[in-house]
Amino acid sequence: MSEATQLSRCSCGKCEVRIEQPPLARFHCHCSICRKLYQSDYADVVAVSASAIDISADADIHYDKYRSFPAVRRGTCKHCNEPVIGTLMGLLAFVPGRNYLDQKALPAPQGRIFADQPAHDDMPTACSYWQSQVLVSRLIMAGMFRA
Ligand SMILES: [Zn+2]
Ligand SMILES: [Zn+2]
C-alpha cells in the first residue's frame, strides 16, 4: 500500500473500498437523495478520481440511480444499507467521509451544496441546482490542480 492509500468501509464492515489518492474535495451535500440515504441533514462526501478506487466487495453492494441525478450511480451495502460509493460517469467517485478509517487523512469540509438556506458561517454555500454544480466543480478542480 502506498502512503496515499486509504481504506473506507461501512459500519458493518462488509463493504470495503480502497482509495489510492488523497481527497480532491470534501463537501456537505444537502440534496434530498443524500438526506434519505444517510438518514441525516446532509451527506459528508469526499470526492476522488474514479480510477483511484478499488472495491473488494462489489457483490455486497447494491447499485441504484435516482431520476433527479441519473449521472450518479450510488452504491449502498446490502447488509447495513449504508452508502459505500457513488460514481459519476466513470470519472469521479464519492466516498462517505465517515467511512474513512483514518479521519485525519481528510481535509475539513470545503463547501455546502443543495443547502436549503444561505450560509450562516464561512463555508462556501450553494442553494440552487446550478450554483451547487458550479461550487462542487470548482472544489474538485481546485483539488485536481493541487494534486
Ligand atoms: Zn446529495
Ligand atoms: Zn455494511
pLDDT in tens, 14-23: 999 999 999 9
Count the Cβ atoms, other than its own, within 10 Å of residue 145. Answer: 8
- pLDDT score, position 25: 98
In the chain, domain spans: 6-146
pTM: 0.93
Amino acid at 99: N
Q: For residue 77, give the ligand nearest its CA.
A: 2
The ligand placed nearest to the CA atom of residue 75 is 2
**Surface-to-core class of residue 135, CB atoms within 10 Å of its CB (0-12 exposed, 13-18 middle, 19+ buried):** buried
Tell me how far the alpha carbon of residue 32 lies from the centroid of ligand 1, in angstroms: 7
What is the Å distance from ligand 1's center to 29 Cα? 4
From ligand 2's centre to the CA of 18, what distance in Å? Answer: 15
Total residues belonging to the chain: 147
Which ligand number lies closest to the CA of residue 132?
A: 1
Collapsing DSSP to helix, strand or coil, 47 comes out as strand
For position 103, what pLDDT does the model report?
96
The DSSP line for 97-110 is: GGGBS-GGGSPPP-
Q: Tell me what pLDDT residue 50 has.
A: 95
Q: Among all ligands shown, which has an atom nearest to the Cα of 88?
A: 1
pLDDT for the residue numbered 1: 54
CATH architecture type of domain 6-146:
Alpha-Beta Complex (3.90)
Question: Which residues of the chain fall below pLDDT 50?
Answer: none
Please tell me the distance between residue 128's alpha carbon and the centre of ligand 1 in angstroms.
12
